[in-house]
Chains A and B, each alone.
Chain A
Amino acid sequence: MSTIKTAESPNGIEGPGFFATSLDAAVGLARKNSLWPLPFATSCCGIEFMATMASTYDLGRFGAERLSFSPRQADLLMVMGTISKKMGPVLRQVYEQMAEPKWVLSMGACASTGGIFDTYSVLQGIDRIIPVDVYIPGCPPRPEQVLDGILKIQELVQSESIRRRDTPEYKAMLQEYGME
């Protein structure tokens, strides 16, 4: 018997030769298992991310094999490492270049809060300039934690309604960050 696990099919109505489900569920399933992450790795956490991508931990098992180094093709922005204030506008521009729908993962104490670098030159958390979906604590987080963070992102991706990005709440949230 094959040991290959396929993704569970969403709830729906099944009969001979057909399967009916909602579009949300089908799209969510497809998106969840084909994330294209954009690694924005600036320091030590980036090294831990490399371990996550390599064979022992292998992020590819979760459908995120293909890293996108162009923001225009990515749907998950992974911010890993210390972001200096001077890097802030660059990060923001990268985020703005990504097409909707997009998610953001903040890995490590530095990206999430500034971490040990409580100083004049370091951005005290990337959520001051872009919205974040999942935070991974740790300095640095272990690869298992990164995988856990990706799974959390996948849950969000799967359960997100396709209309969420058109809602007034979402627009208001973007407006808080000065984006339209």
Chain B
Amino acid sequence: MNEELKTILLDTLKSTFGNDIVAVDAPYDFTTITVKKDKLVDIISHLYNHEKLQFQFLTDLTASHYPDDKEQLEVVYHLHSLVNNIRVRIKARLSIGTPEIATLTGVFAGANWMERETFDNLGVIFKGHPNLKRILNVDDMLIHPLRKEYPLEDQVRLDKNDTMFGR
């Protein structure tokens, strides 16, 4: 990202949300900002409305599961400023016991299906979402399959007998 815009970005975040920024990093030159989950929507709408930055496109919204960490779930938002052609990644950590975070549908209508997908696969509950139900998996699935505590392989296969294939 261009240094000038990056300075503007970090300055405005620090001055407005100083205590809510947990970490700033730039892996592979992709500015990544970890924030507290309670302030996430405020921060994203601030970047959306910022006069210079105008992060007005939500590229992606997803989550990952890190079973060894204290706060196991990490929600990830990718924002794109089409005017400046710069991108930023915003992350927030949730505990697996209460995987709740406010919905982003108020800022980006397009977050609707992405949040449903994230709920479906990882069980993140987006509070205030207008229709938070499964979108990709079968409706009667009991698990959130991308969480690491569930096996990836379907458990009904009979042809993968360990004694025969030495797995």
Contacts and interface: CB of A to CB of B under 8 A. Distances in A.
A86 B140 CA distance: 10
A113 interface: yes
Interface in A57-114: 85-86, 88, 113-114
A118 B138 contact: no
A101 to B, nearest CB: 30
Contacts of B150: 120
A124 interface: yes
B137 A119 contact: no
Interface residues of A, number: 12
Interface in B65-79: none
A122 interface: yes
Contacts of A124: 154, 156-157
A21 interface: no
A161 interface: no
Main secondary structure of the interface of A (DSSP, over half): loop
A121 interface: yes
B51 interface: no
Nearest to B146: A120
Nearest to A118: B153
Contact of A120 (B152, B159, B160): B152
A122 B138 contact: no
A62 to B, nearest CB: 31
Given A85-B138, A86-B137, A86-B138, A114 B145 contact: no
